[in-house]
């Protein structure tokens, strides 16, 4: 392979992309393929397949891949009137490929109704439930592109609640696991519809990449086979091969710079040797995720944008949505060995749509899994009313590890204005920049939905024949793996940060493309939607650049 | 100090085996190991924390990644010793207590930050990759039926093979 093209920091490249994650990887590769000079600044390292290992201690307990809270702390509070305390509340992978490298790889499309829930359900007091500026049909071709470019395994038409699709999945579903067989049985008894999980994992070799070896280390880990369809494995190599794309790892962007005309013209970043460098660019695309994107915009306040970049209406950072869900545990008579293979093989979406008859807003997508690695299982896997150490506990963990399966209910999370990302007034990161302050408390309807979904999950586990069932506690979430909705998209500049093309209402040559754009969060599993939006946004950016709109 | 005595001390030190622990004295290590064994005991013929080498793991962790937790161990162990003397005035050490006495002792300190850290480290040492010093001969993984492999083959579990 040719060596990667390098750009000078003084040269104004066509696009500076901040963050090489799920969305950033898509945007960079699409822009480079369209012929634009693109520099991608990623704060984390550029790891390769050979760097990934089955090491639960390092990955799960010592923040090997995620944002290290010792260096990049955040503070947390439930409500704005409280004093925020240092307490880890957000998690994302800090590396080239971002969250697409370590995600569990559930790849759900949103339903057509997700884009118009306000119209269908009506308003919810205390929340700002809104329709999206675009309908499902407009995004459908890009879901299809994402599925084919990245390599998604699934069975078209198997989920009766899915929207229409223009093409089947490029790969057949992964083989069913014991949890999937049990979910199928339970669904049949209860009159529900279980279907093969759509997964960003190769069930067969695809475009030069190897198929999954079923090692079981998907969630939170990087794939040693390159079989997980991360942007790192599926897109970055092609982007670099165009000769128009430079990936610059260990580049922590600390400020986006504005010219006298109010437009952005470059970014300041800190490299591995802690030098501060300036990359000049004709346009800037921020793909730093739902937590870091609003932070960077707020850090980039200037004379022209005193409240922060793209923040004329004060909405940057607001309407944060968390990864809301509840887990119900089941123990079965015979071994399932759920630790082997991809995490999920079957899903049920019968309870997905919100129904006013339930008396609250909310819905659930249920999947069958048991995703605790040995250490995490022993630390947190047993019910809290049982011993947590000693001989009896040891016997329980020994008997149960292979015999467990749970239902994870992936839930709606209402957008509430006071739930937000802001800059902490006191706490700083290891570079001396203000830390993220998270303010988050689930809306009351989210909590009602949580117990309702736990009850449905119990019915499913019961119908599947579980010997013992227990649920996690219903409580407002304090930690999130999905970071969504802090720079909402919309047509009305009074109520949104970016327009339907992800372009800032305030700054013409600034685009925000990642989880921050989401208006609602479906029933979690946002990555398919984030990436479909990224394909669509990149196409628009290329067009705008060709038309001279960004020069 | 005279040069000769100094030299003698160096010589004497060189004759000692290197210290077995980096974060603990020998007696401290024996006490911590006894507590870890109470958390994860050898039972019904299945190995416990001692066989897994949990103390090696904790020692290495406190000399590296978790160095900042040393003060917690120091004060925590002191508290447990106080508790031991209160409960069992005639005892000389945690390691010398009977199993039931050690269980009673841990029950008494179950809600302290030290206990929760020690439980955490004990579990980590039992289930970590063996390269970290614990989980010797993979006894932790074997206890729960976890087989670490790069390739697994279907069927994984009993239910894929059952007729409907
Ligand atoms: C354990 C885990 C399991 C998950 N499983 C699933 C799943 O099964 N299905 C699903 O749909 N979603 C899942 N997710 C969520 C998924 O990872 C995210 O939704 C997705 O990655 C978000 O994409 P993004 O482009 O918005 O941001 P990211 O993928 O987070 O990318 C942002 C990138 O920007 C970089 N960055 C941030 N700030 C800066 C800066 N100042 N300078 C330079 N670079 C910066 C980051 O390092 C990162 O690489 C999971 C997440 C976790 C943590």
Q: What is the DSSP string of A238-278?
A: HHHHTTSEEEE-S-EEEEEEE-TTS-EEEEEEE-TT--EEE
Q: Would the pLDDT of B86 be above 90?
A: yes
Does residue A259 lie in a domain region? yes
CA distance A237 to A149: 13
- Which pLDDT band, with edges at 50, 70 and 90, does B44 fall under? confident
- Residue A210, strand partner residues: none
Q: Helix axis angle, B54-62 relative to B26-39, nearest 10°?
A: 120
Percentage of chain A modeled with pLDDT above 90 = 99
Q: Would the pLDDT of B16 be above 90?
A: no
Neighbours of A123 (CB within 10 A): 11
Neighbours of B88 (CB within 10 A): 17
Chain A environment of B112 (Cβ under 8 Å): none
Q: Would the pLDDT of A449 be above 50?
A: yes
Option in A334, A340, A377 nearest B152 (CB): A340
pLDDT, tens only, A509-545: 999 999 999 999 999 999 999 999 999 999 999 999 9
Centre of ligand 1 from the C-alpha of residue A514, in Å = 9
Which of A394, A395, A398, A404 has the most B C-beta neighbours within 10 Å, making it the best mutation to test the interface with B? A394
Show the tokens assigned to A546: 């060709």
CA distance B77 to B81: 6
What's the distance, Cα to Cα, between the start and end of chain A in Å? 32
Shortest Cα distance from B111 to chain A (angstroms)? 12
Chain B environment of A339 (Cβ under 8 Å): 146
> Is residue A251 a contact partner of residue A271, using CB atoms and an 8 Å limit?
yes
Does residue A179 lie in a domain region? no
**What's the pLDDT at A1?**
64
> Is residue B57 a contact partner of residue B134, using CB atoms and an 8 Å limit?
yes
Burial of A418 (0-12, 13-18, 19+ CB in 10 A): middle
Range of the domain at A286: 1-77+93-99+230-312+487-551
Burial of A447 (0-12, 13-18, 19+ CB in 10 A): buried
Residue A422's Cα: distance from chain center in Å?
19
**Closest C-alpha residue for ligand 1 atom 46:** A94
Burial of A326 (0-12, 13-18, 19+ CB in 10 A): buried
Does residue A371 lie in a domain region? no
Centre of ligand 1 from the C-alpha of residue A293, in Å = 11
Query: In testing the pocket of ligand 1, which one of A17, A18, A19 has its CB within 8 Å of the most ligand atoms?
Result: A19
**What's the pLDDT at B5?**
58
DSSP 8-class letter at A167: S
Q: Would the pLDDT of B62 be above 70?
A: yes
Q: Which residues contact A220 (CB under 8 A, 6 or more apart)?
A: A59, A60, A65, A66, A102
> Is residue A443 a contact partner of residue A414, using CB atoms and an 8 Å limit?
yes
| Ligand 1 atom having least distance to the Cα of A91 | 53
Centre of ligand 1 from the C-alpha of residue A91, in Å = 8
Read off the pLDDT of each residue in A76-83 and give the average, rounded to a whole number: 98
What's the distance, Cα to Cα, between the start and end of chain B in Å? 85
**What's the pLDDT at B4?**
54
Q: What is the CATH number of the domain that holds A56?
A: 3.50.50.60
Length of chain B (residues): 164
Length of chain A (residues): 551
Instruction: List the single residue in A with minimal CA-CA distance to B102.
Output: A390
**What's the pLDDT at B89?**
98
Chain A environment of B146 (Cβ under 8 Å): 339, 374, 401-402
DSSP 8-class letter at A17: E
Instruction: List the single residue in A with minimal CA-CA distance to B148.
Output: A215
More confident residue, B164 or A126: A126
Shortest Cα distance from A338 to chain B (angstroms)? 7
DSSP 8-class letter at A14: E
pLDDT, tens only, A191-229: 999 999 999 999 999 999 999 999 999 999 999 999 999
- The answer, yes or no, to whether any atom of ligand 1 lies below 6 A from the CB of A289, is yes
**Closest C-alpha residue for ligand 1 atom 13:** A103
CA distance A292 to A441: 19
Q: Would the pLDDT of A499 be above 80?
A: yes
Nearest to A224 by CA among A51, A378, A351: A51
Show the tokens assigned to A151: 């390599």
Does residue A527 lie in a domain region? yes
Instruction: List the single residue in A with minimal CA-CA distance to B135.
Output: A375
Which of A64, A184, A340 has the most B C-beta neighbours within 10 Å, making it the best mutation to test the interface with B? A340
**What's the pLDDT at B1?**
45
Does residue A40 lie in a domain region? yes
Does residue A372 lie in a domain region? no
CA distance A428 to A432: 5
Instruction: List the single residue in A with minimal CA-CA distance to B157.
Output: A336
Number of structural domains, chain A?
1
- Please judge whether A395 and B48 are an interchain contact, meaning their C-beta atoms are less than 8 angstroms apart: no
> Is residue B130 a contact partner of residue B136, using CB atoms and an 8 Å limit?
yes
Sign of torsion over alpha carbons A365, A67, A479, A379:
positive
Average model confidence (pLDDT) for chain A?
Answer: 97
Where are the extended beta strands (E) located within A93-227? 194-196
- Which pLDDT band, with edges at 50, 70 and 90, does B161 fall under? confident
Backbone angles phi, psi at A269, to 5 degrees: -140, 160
Instruction: List the single residue in A with minimal CA-CA distance to B128.
Output: A57
Does residue A247 lie in a domain region? yes
**What's the pLDDT at B12?**
66
**Residue showing tokens 């603990």:** B24
| Ligand 1 atom having least distance to the Cα of A269 | 42
Q: Would the pLDDT of A2 be above 80?
A: no
Centre of ligand 1 from the C-alpha of residue A182, in Å = 31
**Residue showing tokens 């000078």:** A8
Query: In testing the pocket of ligand 1, which one of A527, A531, A533, A538 has its CB within 8 Å of the most ligand atoms?
Result: A527
> Is residue A320 a contact partner of residue A440, using CB atoms and an 8 Å limit?
yes
Show the tokens assigned to A308: 């922060």
Read off the pLDDT of each residue in B133-153 and give the average, rounded to a whole number: 97
Torsion region of A349: left, alpha or beta (phi above 0 gives left; psi -120 to 50 gives alpha) = alpha
DSSP 8-class letter at B20: S
pLDDT, tens only, A326-359: 999 999 999 999 999 999 999 999 999 999 999 9
**Closest C-alpha residue for ligand 1 atom 20:** A99
CA distance A108 to A532: 11
**Closest C-alpha residue for ligand 1 atom 50:** A103
Q: Would the pLDDT of A447 be above 80?
A: yes
Centre of ligand 1 from the C-alpha of residue B93, in Å = 50
- Please judge whether B123 and A378 are an interchain contact, meaning their C-beta atoms are less than 8 angstroms apart: yes
How many interface pairs between A and B have CB atoms less than 8 angstroms apart? Answer: 114
Helix (H) or strand (E) holding A347: strand A346-348
Does residue A120 lie in a domain region? no
- Residue B133, strand partner residues: none
CA distance A318 to A484: 10
Sign of torsion over alpha carbons B102, B105, B111, B113:
negative
């Amino acid at each position: 392979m040719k060596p990667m093209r390098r750009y000078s920091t003084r040269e104004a490249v066509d696009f500076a992309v901040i963050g090489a994650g799920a969305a950033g990887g898509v945007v960079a590769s699409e822009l480079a393929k369209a012929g634009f000079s693109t520099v991608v600044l990623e704060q984390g390292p550029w790891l390769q397949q050979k760097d990934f290992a089955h090491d639960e201690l390092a990955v799960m307990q010592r923040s090997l891949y995620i944002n290290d809270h010792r260096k990049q702390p955040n503070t947390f509070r439930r409500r704005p009137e409280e004093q925020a305390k240092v307490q880890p509340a957000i998690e994302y992978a800090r590396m080239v490929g971002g969250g697409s490298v370590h995600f569990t790889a559930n790849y759900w499309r949103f339903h057509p109704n997700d884009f118009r829930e306000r119209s269908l359900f009506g308003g919810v007091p205390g929340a700002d439930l809104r329709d999206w500026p675009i309908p499902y049909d407009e995004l459908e071709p890009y879901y299809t592109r994402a599925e084919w470019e990245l390599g998604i395994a699934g069975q078209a038409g198997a989920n009766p609640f899915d929207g229409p699709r223009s093409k089947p999945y490029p790969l057949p579903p992964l083989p069913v696991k014991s949890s999937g067989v049990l979910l199928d049985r339970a669904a049949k008894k209860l009159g529900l519809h279980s279907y093969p999980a759509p997964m960003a994992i190769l069930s067969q070799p695809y475009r030069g990449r190897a198929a999954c070896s079923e090692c079981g280390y998907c969630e939170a880990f990087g794939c040693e086979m390159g079989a997980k369809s991360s942007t790192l494995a599926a897109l970055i190599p092609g982007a670099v091969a165009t000769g128009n794309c430079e990936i610059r790892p260990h580049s922590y962007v600390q400020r986006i710079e504005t010219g006298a005309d109010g437009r952005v013209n470059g970014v300041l970043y800190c490299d591995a040797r802690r030098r501060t460098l300036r990359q000049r660019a004709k346009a800037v695309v921020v793909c730093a995720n739902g937590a870091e994107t609003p932070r960077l915009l707020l850090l980039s306040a200037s004379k022209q944008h005193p409240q922060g970049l793209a923040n004329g209406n004060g909405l940057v950072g607001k309407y944060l949505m968390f990864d809301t869900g509840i887990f119900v545990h089941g123990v079965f008579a015979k071994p399932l060995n759920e630790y082997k293979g991809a995490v999920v093989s079957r899903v049920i979406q019968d309870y997905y749509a919100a129904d006013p008859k339930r008396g609250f807003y909310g819905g659930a997508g249920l999947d069958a899994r048991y995703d605790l690695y040995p250490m995490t299982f022993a630390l947190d896997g047993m019910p809290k009313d049982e011993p947590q150490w000693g001989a009896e506990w040891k016997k329980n963990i020994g008997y149960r590890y292979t015999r467990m399966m749970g239902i994870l209910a992936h839930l709606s999370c209402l957008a509430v204005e006071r739930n937000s990302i802001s800059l902490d007034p006191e706490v700083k990161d290891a570079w001396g920049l203000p830390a993220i302050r998270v303010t988050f408390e689930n809306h009351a309807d989210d909590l009602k939905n949580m117990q309702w979904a736990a009850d449905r999950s119990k019915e499913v586990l019961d119908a599947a024949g579980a010997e013992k069932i227990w649920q996690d506690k219903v409580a407002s979430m304090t930690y999130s793996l999905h970071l969504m909705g802090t720079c909402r998209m919309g047509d009305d500049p009074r109520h949104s940060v970016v327009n339907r093309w992800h372009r800032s209402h305030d700054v013409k040559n600034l685009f925000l493309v990642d989880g921050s754009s989401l208006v609602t969060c479906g029933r979690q599993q946002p990555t398919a939607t984030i990436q479909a939006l990224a394909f669509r946004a990149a196409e628009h950016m290329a067009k705008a650049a060709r038309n001279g709109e960004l020069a | 100090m005279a040069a000769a005595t100094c030299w003698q001390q160096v010589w004497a030190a060189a004759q000692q085996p290197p210290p077995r622990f980096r974060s603990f004295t020998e007696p401290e290590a024996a006490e911590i190991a006894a507590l870890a064994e109470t958390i994860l005991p050898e039972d019904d013929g299945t190995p416990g924390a001692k066989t897994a080498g949990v103390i090696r793991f904790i020692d290495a962790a406190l000399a590296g990644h978790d160095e900042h937790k040393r003060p917690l161990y120091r004060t925590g162990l002191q508290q447990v010793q106080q508790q031991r003397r209160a409960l069992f005035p005639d005892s000389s050490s945690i390691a010398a207590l009977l199993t039931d006495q050690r269980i009673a002792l841990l029950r008494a300190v179950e809600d302290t930050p030290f206990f929760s850290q020690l439980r955490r480290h004990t579990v980590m040492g039992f289930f970590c990759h063996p390269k970290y010093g614990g989980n010797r001969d993979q006894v932790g993984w074997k206890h729960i039926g976890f087989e670490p492999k790069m390739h697994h083959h279907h069927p994984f579990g009993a239910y894929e093979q059952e007729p409907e």
